[in-house]
Amino acid sequence: MTMKKISALIIILLTYSSLLSNNISNDSISKNELEVKKTDPQIISVNDIYQLLYKNTKESNENILATIYWSLSLITAVILAIIGSSVFF
């Protein structure tokens, strides 16, 4: 394989690696559950509140990590493209 093919393959793999990192499970509470819990304040317990807080924080952290992985992949692809283009000049 030539250097041009190898660098193109690496760039393609790094660019699409962000698609693989977006397989985040969605185990958040449904809207119906939240509406039921909001209507009757006696139903909400401390345990439910902590569970909601945990799930919201987990979802937020997963979204932030997906964004970081995507941006790191993009930055690496750009750096490899610059290095790869300088080989041919």
Output the DSSP codes for the chain: --HHHHHHHHHHHHHHHHHHTT-----PPPHHHHHHHHH-TTT--HHHHHHHHHHHHHHHHHHHHHHHHHHHHHHHHHHHHHHHHHH--
Q: Specify if 13 maps to a domain.
A: yes
> Would you say residue 41 lies in a domain?
yes
- The answer to whether position 31 is within a domain reads no
| Owning domain of residue 65 | 3-22+36-87
7 touches 87 (CB < 8 A):
yes
- Confidence class of residue 71 from pLDDT cuts 50, 70 and 90? very high
> Can you give the pLDDT at residue 47?
86
Structural domain count of the chain? 1
What pLDDT score was predicted for residue 36? Answer: 56
Question: Does residue 74 form part of some domain?
Answer: yes
Residue 36: CB atoms within 10 Å: 12
pLDDT digits (tens, 9 = 90+) for 6-56: 777 777 776 766 555 554 444 445 555 555 555 555 667 888 889 989 999
pLDDT of residue 64: 94
| pLDDT value at 68 more than 70 | yes
Residue 28 lies in a domain: no
Residue 14 within a domain = yes
